Structure formats: structure tokens, C-alpha cells
Amino acid sequence: MSGVARRLPRVTWCDLFESQARKAPGRVCLVADEVSWTFHELDLWAERLAQVLRNAGASPGTVVACAMTRSVRAVLGVLATAKAAAVHLPIDPALPTARLYAILADARPSVVLTDVESLAERADVVLSTEDWKAELAGHTGHRSPGAVAGPAYLVYTSGSTGLPKGVLVGHRSLVNLCGELADRFFPAGRGPQRVAHGLPLVFDASWNPLSWLAGGHELHLVPDPVRTDPGSYVDFVREHRLSVVEAVPAHMSALLEAGLLDGPARPRMLLMGGEAIGQDLWSQLRGAAEVTAVNLYGPTECTVFTTSCGLDERATPSIGRPIGNTTAQVVDEELRPVPIGEPGELLISGSCLALGYLGRPELTADRFVTAGERRYRTGDRCRLAADGHLEWLGRLDDQVKIRGHRVEPGEVEQALLASPGVRQAAVRVEGTDPRLVAYVVLDTGTVTRLRERLRAVLPAYLLPSAVIPLDAMPLGPTGKIDRAALAPPVPVRRAVVLTSPQKLVAAAFRVQLEIPAVDADSDFFDLGGHSLSAAALAARLRALGVPCSLRDVLVRRTVARIAELVPTQEKGVTP
């Protein structure tokens, strides 16, 4: 099945933005750091930064690594890199040092741009958080033609070998994405929309809201403390009268629970992607009045999203139909089409395809197969329904999406096996809210020391929710680890007396984290909690009468500390 054929103009994403700056220079295009920026202002400062990057060594086709905080400077970094006809590589400055340097060593950027003081020694261009305008004011810049057929950005994803792999995406694919948004998503005749950018800037999905910016709309960069707290995020949407909000499904559920669609001041379009949508969320949004909700699907290798499905199109979850200039096909192990209704692997071809993996021709040849036309093997198990919609059935390998991040459990296993004292390790995904659980056999050391080691080498989204020590791994008939038989050892029950407030909080921990038991010293985050589930825990406790905020959970962390917040009248209540 194929999407609509669309003529692609020979321009870059940056050309589309500059066109908007010429047509409406005085219109607000970005609200960030509590400041409104016009198209002219953003274009001007990006041009000046582009000249600084050129002077530092950026040239067409070279990589510019941007390790930036969430601010207007990060958006300028994207624009300035494009204006220099270079390749944008977003890097989370909070990454463990070893992983950050591994990415830099693999990408070999010509310029490293940062506004983070701790990275200043490694960077070629440093923008201070206070005086960056003064640093750029002396540069006038000049426009250089964009490399229309060349790479636009580079994104690193989890790799099963233990090393992240870089996906290189071209300008043509990015412009095709902008064309899809313009044709099918930008509301016709309703003028510029106010769009929330609440996605991590290192996600390839962050190009989606940026494309609304290039389409002439007004982008609002949601601050970090706000975007991780659903209640604050909802307040931000109302205060700024935002009409378009995009989030991974787990985050969208939290926003809905916090009241995103309550009252008249609510968004009119909700976009979701990054992980599978459950039936409950699908049904809830289908029933929402005057709201357009859309499910977006697409691997990093296919430029943000490849298929889309309006939730009003069908009653059950679907990833929909291909976007323009894109073809989707469900095939068997021999890459032959399977009948309608039969499961198989999803293959994608067309203008959305990435250029390949940086410096890995063998991997590129394995995943981007050529048989008549270039096609990407997604590794996703799908089927084509009789109504023409694609249904996602899971993965063919161990890869999984956790809170929108693509995760290879094998990468975590490699990190565990590389740690001193670890004889064996196995990692699998558990729970209805997917989380990584690691099982290890230790020769020396402790789980606590092992966790400390992992925090130093893995980003937060790859950290296992639990690390469970075993005396020995269960083995199958062939002598390999029997992953299906992995289970926590039955604990020896010890007499633990919880106070009534602690029992109330412990019960909330158990329900939120889907675990059987906790004690007074149990740490919410060591048990697998994260920022979204922490916000949900706080909301759950508030519903029980406990004045608990997200910050309380982040700071107090344990059952005993959070139980100190239980009001006096609740102290005698046993849940």
C-alpha cells in the first residue's frame, strides 16, 4: 500500500523556514525562555551563529554536535547548523561521560557546540547562558546554499552490540515530512497554530514540532521542569492557549489524567507516537469532543513518522496508512508479500528512508535491502487489515520502546557483562508499563555498586528498573539461559512493621509500580519509577488525601519519607 504521490521541491528544511521569515518577518514564531521571538529575530540570530560555526570549521556535509540545554539556543543550534549546510547531531548534555564521548568518537564532528559549562573544554563553540547575544552580535553571517540531497541530521539509538548507532537522515526525507504535515495536519484556513514542543530535543521526533515552525506556526518550547510534571504541563497549555500537543502515549495518558481536555481552553489536536497505544487511551480520545487525535508510527530510520491513523477512523488501535511518497508492505521471512490479515514483517520504502547508519555499511546493507527498490526492514510484526489499515503486533526481536525511547535489551546486557564482578547477565522487558529488569550472577561486588556503575555508563532510559541477583541462571536444554524461566527468588519473609501512614504509601507504591511488596526503606526510583510514574504516584496520593507533589516524590523517594506527608487525620487509617 502506498501513500499519496507528492512532488518534492528541491529545498531544505531551512529553506522552508527562511521562506516563512521573508513572508512574515514580524510574526511570532517561537516562545522560549519566557521570550517571544519573531521569524526575523530567529533567522537573524541563527545566521550569526551559523557564521560562528563556519569559522570554527563547519562546512557542507560535516557534523555539528549540539549539546545544548532546553532553551532558544538549542533551536538556534538546529537552524544555524542547517544554514551552514552541516549535519545536526543532538546530544543530551546529561549523558554519562563515557557514552557522550563514545558518540563523539563515532560521529567525529567538525564542531561541538554547547552552552553547558562542564562541557566547555571539549567544545569548539560555547554560548554562555547569559551573554550569548553579545557573543554573536559581531557576526553578520551570509547565506550558503543547502545541500538538498545531503544529510540533514544524525541521531544515535540503542544498539544490541553495546554501542549506540548513528542514523543519518537526508534533507529530502525531512522536506517530505514537512509536506505531509502541511497537506494533512496543518488546519486549513485557521491561521497559525500554537504548538507545544514538549518532546526531548535529542529525539528524532522533536523534528515534528520544529516542522510546524517551518510551516509558519508558533512554537512554544515547554521548559524541562514543566514538561515532566503533567499538572504543570496542563497549566502551561492553558496559559499559552496551545492548540497542538504531541507526546508519547504514556505521557499523553498522564496529561489527560491531569485535566488536559477539561474546560474550554484545551488543545484541538493531539499527536501521539513513539510507542504502542492501548485500547483504553484510544477509546478515551475517540470519544473526546472537538479534538483531533492522531497516532503516528515510524522508526528513526524512516524520518520521524511513516504511517498515521486518525483515531476517528476505526474503533481499535492501528498505525494507519503510509504518508505521502511512502510505501508499506507486510512480508514473510523471504520478503514475499503475505495475504491480507496475515502477520509478517513491515517493510517501508520511499522518500522517508534514512541514508543509512553512519560508518556501518554492513548494518546498512542488512537493514536497508534492495530488491527492485530500496526498502527498510523495520523488525516490526504487523498485519494489513481488510479495511486497509496496518495493525502493529509487536517486535520480531527483543527491541522495545520505553517512554518513547528505542531500547535494545542487549545493550544493557553488554553493559552489565562489562562490569567487574558480573559472571552472567540477562535483561528482559516486564510489566504492562514496560520496564527493563536485569538478572545477574555476581562473582564479586554488590547490586548497589553495580547500579552505580550502570548510572555512569548508560543514559537514564536504559537503566534497569530492578537488578535481581541470582545464585545461578536457569538453563534450557541447549545450555542457553532460559529467559522465560527467569523470576525473582522468593524472599525470606522477615517481620516488618509499617506504620499506618507507611502502609498507605506502600500500597500506592505497589499499585503504581505493579510490584508485590515494598518496605519502609523502598526507593520509588530504585524500584523502577520514573518522572511520569512519579507524577502519577503523587496524583494517586493526593486522591487519598495526602498533599504530595511531584517534587515531594523526587526529593523524598522512599515510603518512609513520603509517609511523613500523610495528614494527622489519616495517620490512624490503615489502607
What per-residue confidence (pLDDT) applies to 170? 96
What is the mean pLDDT of the segment spanning 144-170? 81
Return the CATH class of domain 13-390: alpha beta
Q: What gap in Å lies between CA 370 and CA 366, rounded to an integer?
A: 10
User: When comparing pLDDT for 404 and 89, which is higher?
Assistant: 89
Name the packing angle between helices 447-457 and 97-107 (round to 10°).
30
The pLDDT tens digits for 52-78 are: 999 999 999 999 999 999 999 999 999
So what's the pLDDT on residue 251? 85
Report the distance separating Cα 30 and Cα 219, nearest Å. Answer: 5
Please, are residues 325 and 8 in contact by the beta-carbon 8 Å criterion?
yes
pLDDT of 371 > 80? The answer is no
Domain 408-485 class?
alpha beta
The one-letter code for the residue type at 41 is E
pLDDT value at residue 574? 43
The SS3 call for residue 317 is coil
Whole-number pLDDT of residue 42: 96
Rounded distance, CA 302 to CA 173, Å?
8
Q: Over 50: is that where the pLDDT of 575 sits?
A: no
What pLDDT score does 425 carry?
A: 85
Instruction: Give the lowest-confidence range in 88-97, 149-158, 430-439, 539-548.
Output: 430-439
pTM above 0.95, yes or no: no
- How far from 265 is each of 234, 235, 259, 462, 469, CA to CA, in Å? 10, 10, 11, 37, 50
Q: How large is the average pLDDT for residues 346-356?
A: 96
Listed by start position, the domains of the chain span 13-390, 408-485, 500-570
Please tell me the distance from the alpha carbon of residue 190 to that of residue 182, in angstroms, as a whole number: 13
Q: Per-residue pLDDT averaged across 358-378, rounded?
A: 92
Of 88, 107, 214, 206, the C-alpha closest to 147 is: 88
CA-to-CA dists, residue 401 to 152, 273, 409, angstroms: 24, 10, 10
Total length of the chain:
575
Least confident of 12-21, 426-435, 446-455: 426-435
Phi, psi of 427 (to 5 degrees): -125, 135
Collapsing DSSP to helix, strand or coil, 422 comes out as strand
> Hey, which residues does 292 pair with through a beta bridge?
269
Mean pLDDT to the nearest integer, 301-319 = 95
Whether the CB-CB separation of 535 and 550 falls below 8 Å is answered with yes
Which strands form 466-469's sheet, in the order they lie side by side?
Answer: 422-430, 435-442, 466-469
Max mean pLDDT among 2-11, 160-169, 230-239 falls in: 230-239
Strand residue runs (E) in 432-509: 435-442, 466-469
Copy the grid coordinates of residue 531: 518522572
**Region of poorest pLDDT, from 101-115, 350-364, 399-413:** 399-413
pLDDT in tens, 31-54: 999 999 999 999 999 999 999 999
Please tell me the predicted confidence (pLDDT) of residue 144: 63
Question: pLDDT per residue over 496-517, tens digit each?
Answer: 688 999 999 999 998 888 777 7
User: If DSSP codes are grouped into helix, strand and coil, which group holds residue 224?
Assistant: helix
Query: How far is it, in rounded angstroms, from Cα 122 to Cα 101?
Result: 10
CA distance 152 to 82: 7
Confidence of residue 370 (pLDDT cuts 50, 70, 90): confident
**Residues whose CB falls within 8 Å of the CB of residue 333, separated by 6 or more in sequence, listed in order:** 345
Q: Which pLDDT score is estimated for 16?
A: 94
Kind plus residue range of the DSSP H or E element containing 535? helix 531-543
User: Distances in Å between the alpha carbon of 424 and those of 43, 80, 220, 416, 483?
Assistant: 54, 47, 47, 8, 12
**Mean pLDDT (whole number) for 216-242:** 94
**Over the Cα atoms of the chain, what is R_g?**
24
The pairing of strands 194-197 and 165-170 is: unpaired
pLDDT at 338 exceeding the cut of 80: yes
Distance CA 328, CA 345 (A): 10
Q: Which of 17-26, 179-188, 563-572 tops mean pLDDT?
A: 17-26
Mean of the per-residue pLDDT values of the chain: 89
Give the residue carrying C-alpha cell 519502609: 520
- What's the confidence (pLDDT) of residue 573? 46
In 314-473, which residue ranges form alpha helices assigned H by DSSP?
A: 361-367, 409-417, 447-457
Of 396, 440, 470, 24, the C-alpha closest to 213 is 24
Mean pLDDT value of segment 158-182: 88
What are the C-alpha distances in Å from 492 to residues 488, 489, 495, 496, 562?
12, 9, 10, 12, 26
Q: What is the pLDDT of residues 470-506, one digit of tens each?
A: 888 887 655 567 777 887 765 544 556 889 999 999 9
Dump pLDDT digits (tens) for 322-333. Answer: 999 999 999 998
pLDDT tens-digit profile of 283-307?
999 989 899 999 999 999 999 999 9
pLDDT in tens, 413-432: 878 888 888 888 888 888 76
- Report the 3 state secondary structure along 321-351: EECCCEEEEEECCCCCECCCCCCEEEEEEEC
Spell 375-412 as b/e; 16+ CB within 10 A means b.
bbbbebbbbbeeeebbbbeeebebbbbbbbbbbbbbbb
**Nearest residue to 224 (alpha-carbon basis) of 201, 241, 247, 250:** 201
pLDDT digits (tens, 9 = 90+) for 248-278: 887 888 899 899 999 888 999 999 998 888 8
Residues 546-570 have a mean pLDDT of 88
- Distance (Å, whole) CA 409 – CA 497: 37
Question: What CATH number labels 500-570?
Answer: 1.10.1200.10
Percent of the chain with pLDDT over 90: 58
pLDDT at site 177: 96
